Amino acid sequence: MQESKKRSRVSRLAAAICLFVLTLILAPLATGKMNVDFDPSLDFSKYKTFAYVGGANTLEFRQLDPNLISDRVHAGVAQALIARGLREVKPDQQPDLVVRYWANSQSQMVSAAAGAWGGFGLFTGSYWAYTYDLMSAETRLDATLVIDLIDLKRKDLAWRLYVEQKITDDDSIWGKVLGQISKGFESYPPSKKEIEEKREERAKHPPKPAAQ
């Protein structure tokens, strides 16, 4: 009887350990990967208005409602920025920030598909290349969303959010990706600590020429 109880305890302990390890393995897949890049030399408090100009989709699997991603990105970003004191205006009203996105669902992030969407470049060179290269180095099939906040007066990128999720179900994957927008904007505007860390990162990784 004691031997039987001992084996039962060992079995329960082994099951608990297996469940814990499985949770650790599956957690990153459930939450995906997120990264933020920004220009640490900017004063983000000066940005008071923004305008949404849409984006570009490069989707390899079954096409979704063409307005789904654009509408959800618009709603998510607008909610986040308005909560931080910014006001949304029309693109022709000279906003401080222009909001643009890329959406990809393939083995590599294809920025070329976005082109100079909205009249602005890709911002994949210079100091922006380091984080872009980190996020585009994956070889598995992913859904990737990139949201750009572009300084209209400077015609340069100010802040960028990357959200990546492994594709397991093309019917639900974009809901998971788009649901991460609010979390990604928790670090906008960047804190003093984040600004200092970004300055140190850029000092270690010099600007890279844009791909030709």
pLDDT at residue 167 greater than cutoff 50: yes
Name the β-bridge partners of 102.
56, 146
Could you tell me the residue ranges of all domains in the chain? 1-31, 33-204
As given in the structure block, the two tokens for residue 9 are: 């305890």
Q: Does domain 33-204 have CATH number 3.40.640.10?
A: no
As given in the structure block, the two tokens for residue 168 are: 């397991």
Name the β-bridge partners of 188.
none
Average pLDDT over residues 157-174: 76
Cβ(164)–Cβ(143) below 8 Å: yes
pLDDT tens digits along 55-75: 887 765 555 565 788 898 999
Average pLDDT over residues 5-19: 47
Q: Measured between alpha carbons, how far is 207 from 66 in angstroms, rounded to an integer?
A: 36
pLDDT at residue 81 greater than cutoff 80: yes
* pLDDT in the model for residue 147: 93
pLDDT at residue 138 greater than cutoff 70: no
Model's pTM, two decimal places? 0.76
Say which residue the tokens 């608990």 belong to: 16
Q: What is the phi/psi pair of residue 186, to 5°?
A: -65, -25
As given in the structure block, the two tokens for residue 204 are: 């270690």
Bigger pLDDT: 28 vs 211:
211
Q: Which of 25-34, 128-137, 192-201 has the lowest average pLDDT?
A: 25-34
The pLDDT confidence band at residue 210, using thresholds 50, 70 and 90, is low
CA distances from residue 174 to 30, 32, 112, 164 in whole angstroms, order as listed: 13, 12, 21, 10
pLDDT tens digits along 85-122: 999 999 999 999 999 998 877 655 655 445 565 678 77
**H helical segments located in the chain:** 2-31, 68-83, 129-136, 173-178, 181-184, 192-204
Average pLDDT over residues 162-176: 69
* pLDDT in the model for residue 169: 54
